[in-house]
A and B are shown apart, each in its own frame.
Chain A
Amino acid sequence: DTEVTQTPKHLVMGMTNKKSLKCEQHMGHRAMYWYKQKAKKPPELMFVYSYEKLSINESVPSRFSPECPNSSLLNLHLHALQPEDSALYLCASSRTETYEQYFGPGTRLTVT
């Protein structure tokens, strides 16, 4: 089973809202990732968690706040977003950082 699940599938939020994206995997993977993908572009790495510790932050604005409560779960907390933050947010996981990554279906975020 190589499934990564993400909720919600779609999210519309105003610029003053606070919301969270959730990601879950049950493959025993110890590395988890958040990517942002704009239309017709490749995914851009945002954060990497390795063994539940943040190991990479790609200079992401503080209005995005990641959290890894345990080895199976990854959250992305959103606050005071801008319309340009509208995108597909993808979660991925891998056995460790040097193995192939498996992606979830994504959350389509629209900021109004």
Chain B
Amino acid sequence: AQSVTQLDSQVPVFEEAPVELRCNYSSSVSVYLFWYVQYPNQGLQLLLKYLSGSTLVESINGFEAEFNKSQTSFHLRKPSVHISDTAEYFCAAFQGAQKLVFGQGTRLTINP
């Protein structure tokens, strides 16, 4: 089974609409969880992380993710998206002490 699963390869939404990008993880990875964003022709930027503590984590640009242990999920949400949010989003988790494993990515496309 895949360690980190992103359930949607593409998510098209209209500007100012809410969005949820789904991520599930397996028992083979730790519960140190991350979301990265990759804009076209750029590297990955850390969007937010869950290491411990509050299960709801927020980023500075309006995204939030909730760690749900019972559902083994770490879904990313934003209540109102902007054109500039168009990007590829990767969910990731540690597998073992050193290796970061990524989901297959979700391409978020914002339509005007």
- The chain A residues found within 8 Å of chain B, CB to CB, are 2, 4, 6, 31, 40-43, 45, 48, 50, 55-56, 90, 92, 97-98, 100-106, 108
| A to B contact number (C-beta, < 8 Å) | 49
Residues on the A chain within 8 Å of B42, using CB: 105-106
Are the CB atoms of B105 and A103 closer together than 8 Å?
Answer: no
- 8 A-B residue pairs with CB within 8 Å: A2-B46, A42-B90, A43-B44, A43-B90, A50-B98, A97-B97, A98-B98, A100-B46
Chain B: interface residue total (CB-CB under 8 A): 20
8 Å CB contact of A98 from B32, B41, B105: B32
B68: interface (CB < 8 Å): no
Q: Mostly helix, strand, loop or mixed at chain B's interface?
A: strand
Taking CB atoms and an 8 Å cut-off, the chain B residues in 70-111 that contact chain A are 90, 94, 97-100, 102-105
Residues on the A chain within 8 Å of B105, using CB: 40-42
Q: Please give me the 4 A-B residue pairs with the lowest Cβ-Cβ distance, nearest first.
A: A42-B102, A97-B98, A103-B44, A103-B43
Taking CB atoms and an 8 Å cut-off, the chain B residues in 29-57 that contact chain A are 32, 34, 36, 41-46, 49
CA distance A55 to B97 in the complex (A): 11
Q: How far apart are B39's CB and chain A's nearest CB, in angstroms?
A: 10
CA distance A105 to B105 in the complex (A): 18
CA distance A34 to B105 in the complex (A): 19
Of chain B, the residue at the smallest CB distance from A94 is: B100
Are the CB atoms of A105 and B104 closer together than 8 Å?
Answer: no
8 Å CB contact of B94 from A4, A98, A102: A98
**Known interface pairs A48-B98, A56-B98, A100-B49. Does A41 touch B43 (Cβ–Cβ under 8 Å)?**
no
